[in-house]
């Protein structure tokens, strides 16, 4: 478990985190929501030992961040928003370098390559990879030390829909491997798809923390969201798309929507009734809807 108590971090006069407390369960996929400047990246940087806190307590799997930072770094990994590898090196040279730095085992190395489907790209120079392939390499580097917890800082920025879904699916797999995932994203539907629990922070303070289920079912709504397997045909069907793989409809229109999908051989993954979506809830909670 990750336990954060009364965490405060200031940059000059500005409070990036203000007495923040929250708990993240082991093995969960935890979503961290907040507008730009809410303190998400600062929180991840502190949890990963990159930035020092001003006050508060952080305990990660029983290790104190104040006294056991080195041990915490060895069991955790951050996947930064920006591509943090060497463009002039090949995929293999990048992985070899970061593996040697972290003394990664051969098994962990192969797992990181396999999970991210980089096997056929090993000889390719990193600068020549596609956006999605670069993101996968960025993630693979973070898996080399076989971490117990991975922090994803908006890992799908600038990624095409197909690659984004591949990345999200791979993150779901980490849960199966028992890895705790802390995930921040601007795309709320991503959080909806992969997270078990969500914390909303605003101006460095915790506004709400709950399971995704509770956050979404607390709202009475006629809305129905239908999640499907990605298909190129989707955009031409005249449906209301919330994103590349989620359709927004109503309970009255659901039957017709499902029929249309079936006719076009588009597989349905999930149907969520009577819910609001996370974006609406987030805007309500943070007061952004007032504007």
Partner 1 sequence: MLSAMIKKELLLVLRDKHALLALFVMPAIFIVIMSVAMRDQFSTKNIEFTLFIKDADKTELTKAIIKDVEVDRNFELLKSEKDAEFVIQFPKDYKKDSHIKVEISVQDSIKSDKIEAFKAMLSEHLLRARFDLMAEKFKAFSPQASKSLKELEVSADSLFKVNYNGLKTIPNSTQQSVPAWIVFGMFFIIIPMSTIYINERKQNTLSRLTSMNVSIFAMTFTKSVPYLIINQIQVWIMIGVGVFLVPLFDATPALAINGSFGAVVLISTALSIAAIGISTLIAVTASSSEQATTIGGIFNILLGAIGGVMVPKFIMPESMQTIAEYSPMGWGLDGFLEIFLKSADASMVVGDAAKLIAFGLSLLIISMVLLQVRINRGL
184 near partner 1 (CB under 8 A):
no
Q: Which residues of 158-167 are buried (b: 16+ CB within 10 A; e: fewer)?
A: ebeeebbbbb
Strands (E), 119-164: 149-153
Place of tokens 């940087």: 45
226/254 Cα distance (integer angstroms): 9
CB of 182 to partner 1, least distance (A): 14
Residue choice 89, 157, 237, 241 for contact with partner 1 (CB under 8 A)? 89
d(CA 48, CA 44): 6
**Which residues from 145-174 bind partner 1, rule CB under 8 A?**
145
Identify which of residues 154 and 197 has a Cβ nearer to partner 1 in the complex: 154
Torsional class of 244: left (φ above 0), alpha (ψ -120 to 50), beta (otherwise): alpha
Determine the angle formed by the axes of helices 106-115 and 91-101, rounding to 10 degrees. Answer: 140
Among 1, 5, 11, 267, binds partner 1 (CB under 8 A): 11
Helix, strand, or coil (residue 224): strand
Asked whether position 92 contacts partner 1 by CB under 8 A, the answer is no
Q: How far apart are CA 143 and CA 138, in angstroms?
A: 9
Distance CA 30, CA 198 (A): 6
Q: DSSP letter at 124?
A: S
Is residue 106 close enough to count as binding partner 1 by CB under 8 A? no
Contact segment (CB under 8 A) with partner 1 among 87-95, 172-180, 194-202, 231-239 equals 87-95
Binding window for partner 1 (CB under 8 A); candidates: 89-97, 115-123, 171-179, 216-224: 89-97
Q: Is 105 in the site for partner 1 (CB under 8 A)?
A: no
Query: Exactly one of 30, 98, 183, 282 binds partner 1 (CB under 8 A); which one?
Result: 98
By the rule CB under 8 A, 109 interacts with partner 1: no
- Pattern 23-52, binding to partner 1, x per CB under 8 A? ------------------xx--x--xxxxx
Nearer to partner 1, 82 or 106 (CB): 82
* Cα separation, 199 vs 184, whole angstroms: 10
Indicate the residue among 32 and 266 with the shorter CB distance to partner 1: 32
101 binds partner 1 (CB under 8 A): yes
State how far Cα 97 lies from the chain centre. Answer: 25
- Asked if residue 61 binds partner 1 (CB under 8 A), the reply is no
For residues 216 and 222, the answer to whether their CB atoms sit within 8 Å is no
Indicate whether 74 belongs to the interface with partner 1 (CB under 8 A). yes
Q: Check binding of 78 to partner 1 (CB under 8 A).
A: yes
SS3 assignment, position 109:
helix
Among 57, 59, 96, 279, binds partner 1 (CB under 8 A): 96
Give the orientation angle of helix 106-115 with respect to helix 131-143, to 10 degrees.
Answer: 150
Contact positions vs partner 1 (CB under 8 A) = 11, 41-42, 45, 48-52, 70, 73-74, 76-78, 80-86, 88-89, 93, 96-98, 100-103, 141, 145
């Amino acid at each position: 478990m990750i336990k954060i108590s009364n965490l405060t971090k200031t940059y000059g006069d500005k409070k990036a985190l203000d007495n923040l407390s929250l708990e993240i369960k082991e093995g969960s996929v935890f979503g961290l929501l907040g507008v730009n400047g809410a303190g998400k990246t600062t929180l991840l940087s502190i949890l990963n030992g990159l930035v020092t806190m001003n006050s508060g307590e952080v305990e990660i799997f029983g290790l104190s961040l104040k006294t056991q930072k080195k041990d915490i770094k060895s069991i955790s990994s951050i996947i930064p928003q920006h591509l943090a590898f060497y463009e002039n090196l090949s995929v293999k040279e990048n992985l070899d370098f970061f593996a040697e730095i972290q003394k990664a085992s051969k098994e962990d190395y192969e797992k990181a390559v396999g999970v991210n489907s980089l096997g056929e790209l090993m000889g390719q120079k990193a600068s020549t990879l596609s956006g999605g392939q670069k993101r996968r390499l960025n993630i693979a580097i973070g898996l080399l030390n076989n971490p117990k917890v991975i922090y994803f800082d908006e890992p799908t920025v600038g990624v095409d829909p197909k690659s984004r879904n591949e990345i999200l699916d791979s993150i779901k797999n980490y849960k199966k491997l028992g890895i705790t995932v802390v995930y921040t994203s601007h795309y709320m539907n991503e959080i909806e798809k992969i997270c078990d629990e969500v914390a909303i922070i605003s101006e460095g303070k915790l506004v709400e923390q709950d399971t995704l289920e509770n956050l979404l079912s607390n709202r009475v709504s006629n809305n129905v969201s239908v999640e499907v397997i990605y298909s190129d045909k989707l955009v031409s069907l005249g449906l209301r798309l919330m994103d590349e793989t989620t359709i927004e409809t109503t309970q009255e229109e659901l039957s017709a929507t499902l029929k249309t999908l079936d006719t076009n051989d588009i597989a349905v993954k999930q149907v969520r009734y009577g819910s609001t979506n996370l974006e609406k809830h987030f805007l309500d909670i943070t007061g952004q809807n007032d504007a």
